[in-house]
Amino acid sequence: MPEHDLVIRGGTVATATGVYPADVAIRGERIAAIGAGLAPGRTELDATGRLLLPGGVDSHCHIEQLAASGLMNADDFASATGSAALGGTTTVIPFAAQHVGMSLTRVVEEYHAAAERGAMVDYAFHMILCDPRPEILHEELPPLARAGHGSLKVFLTYDRLRVEDAQFLDVLEAARLHGQMVCVHAENHGMITWMGKRLLAGGYRAPRYHVPSHPRLGEIEAIGRAIACAALVDQPLMIFHVSTAEGAGVIHRARGEGRKVWGETCTQYLTLGARDLDRPGLEGAMWMCSPPLREPADQEALWWALEIGALQTVSSDHAPYRMDASGKLAKGENAHFKEIANGMPGLELRLPVLFDAMVSRGRLGLEKFVELTATAPARLYGLHARKGSIVIGADADLALWNPDRLVEIVQGPRHDRAGYTPYAGRTVRGWPEIVLRRGQVIVADGALQAPSGSGRFLPRTGGPAAAPLGRPAPELDPARNFGAQLRP
């Protein structure tokens, strides 16, 4: 009788700490053995000439999410997670997005129902708080934290979403009490508002003017302010989608001072730039995201920040809107940049584009690719070692990559519902050909084999840096220097 359900033989295993030839055996949904000469399995896969990587963990994506403007993004959970699986990603952390006046409990219930209907990969949620009323923080948040919702997100900009600094401090304090990570969209609201008004007054309406409407100084200032607020409360903080060299520098310096802060950037900030928006008519709207795409020097700085550990993860920030009246052109063909939905698709192509850049082109190497796209996000968001690693006992979420396969990315629909891709025109080397989720093959020969609703919710804590549950913020002596008290 075979000892294992599945044995993957002859491949090269790649982890965040090493690359080595090995077979991997799966029993049930978990990795049961790693080594040479493993006992036979009921089924065997030949991985000769292939790399065996942990399934990707995309810790920042928007799925079946209603924007504050009332616009629904293009993907439901089936289309988004199906596209993720085809790109080698087996775990996603999208958002349960509260809007003003909404019950957070009800919001989370509705997103759970949507994911249970459609998700094809495993998932957790970041809970967006834009209305942190006392009853939300003191009555609704505690049971949600106990149910395994280990992270919150707040915005420091956007009229219908942003929280003021005092509200932000309330959220940070509540998260500390309940052992949650806080994630932040850090841009200066006043600068964005001021610049946008003046650009429009001067007749600058095209999508390319979205870039100067979000001044880089706004990101730099807001990142510093967010870190200062988190330090006051002694609460771990993740800075989402860092786009500028200076923003990464602020995080690097804060980490050097012992602050509990981490940083993320996204595929688009590493591989696309502001010039992509400079196209005829409204075509540039396909490359509108916030923060906006920046300059080549920022790309280089962000790559360097990833290499030295100043930034720790790379997500897709998948935010798909179609280029029609249901999405980016909801305000018509004459819409100005302030009226066009921000966001672009990226779940499916995050890993192939990054593999080509990091591994095939020799930028950071295979181990760093695994760390940034799977292991680090799993660890930071309380999913380690169940997800993001090839270790005995972990979920058998695996992707067999052909490192030599060339794929031309052409413009037009992919497997999400955005109808376009911002990465068109590239030829990437390296592609995930077989993908397993919990030991089951869900992608093979370019075909999706997972049924809708087969993904599972992943209860989690706030990650390794979260305060123990019930631990209040420290009492600070106002007669002494705050910063000195908050250093380890």
The pLDDT confidence band at residue 156, using thresholds 50, 70 and 90, is: very high
Instruction: Give the containing element (helix H, strand E) for 352.
Output: helix 350-355
Mean pLDDT for the stretch of residues 171-195: 97
One-letter amino acid for residue 304 of the chain: W
Percent of the chain with pLDDT over 70: 95
**Per-position b or e across 199-236, b if 16+ CB within 10 A of its CB:** bbeeeebbbbbbbbbbbbebbbbbbbbbbebbbbbbbb
Span of 70-79, 461-470, 479-488 with lowest mean pLDDT: 479-488
CA atoms of 352 and 11, how far apart (whole Å): 19
> 267 phi and psi, to 5 degrees?
-50, -45
Residue 479, pLDDT > 50, answer no
Span of 59-63, 127-131, 468-472 with lowest mean pLDDT: 468-472
Instruction: Give the containing element (helix H, strand E) for 21.
Output: strand 19-21
pLDDT for residue 85: 98
Q: Which fold has domain 56-380?
A: TIM Barrel (3.20.20)
Tens digit of each residue's pLDDT (9 = 90 or more) over 145-155: 999 999 999 99
Taking alpha carbons only, the member of 266, 399, 270, 406 closest to residue 345 is: 266
pLDDT for residue 68: 84
Residue 484, pLDDT > 50, answer no
pLDDT for residue 413: 83
Mean pLDDT for the stretch of residues 89-93: 98
Residue 482, pLDDT > 50, answer no
Determine the angle formed by the axes of helices 296-308 and 245-256, rounding to 10 degrees: 20
One-letter amino acid for residue 191 of the chain: M
Taking the model in full, what pTM does it have? 0.94
The pLDDT confidence band at residue 113, using thresholds 50, 70 and 90, is: very high
CA atoms of 179 and 234, how far apart (whole Å): 12
Mean pLDDT for the stretch of residues 441-458: 96
The pLDDT confidence band at residue 2, using thresholds 50, 70 and 90, is: confident
In three-state secondary structure terms, 80 is: helix
Residue 61, pLDDT > 80, answer yes
pLDDT for residue 464: 65
The residue extents of the domains of the chain are: 56-380
Beta bridge partners of 53: 399
Distances (CA, A) of 337 to 37, 249, 284, 295: 60, 29, 10, 19
In three-state secondary structure terms, 362 is: coil
Beta bridge partners of 127: 96, 152
Tens digit of each residue's pLDDT (9 = 90 or more) over 390-434: 999 999 999 999 999 999 999 988 899 999 999 999 999 999 999
In three-state secondary structure terms, 421 is: coil
Strand 440-444 and strand 427-437: the pairing is antiparallel
> 185 phi and psi, to 5 degrees?
-90, 110
On the CB side of 191, CA atoms within 13 Å amount to 18
Q: 16-23: long-range contacts (C-beta < 8 A, 24 or more apart)? A: 16/367, 16/368, 16/370, 16/371, 16/374, 16/375, 16/376, 16/389, 17/367, 18/367, 19/366, 19/367, 22/52
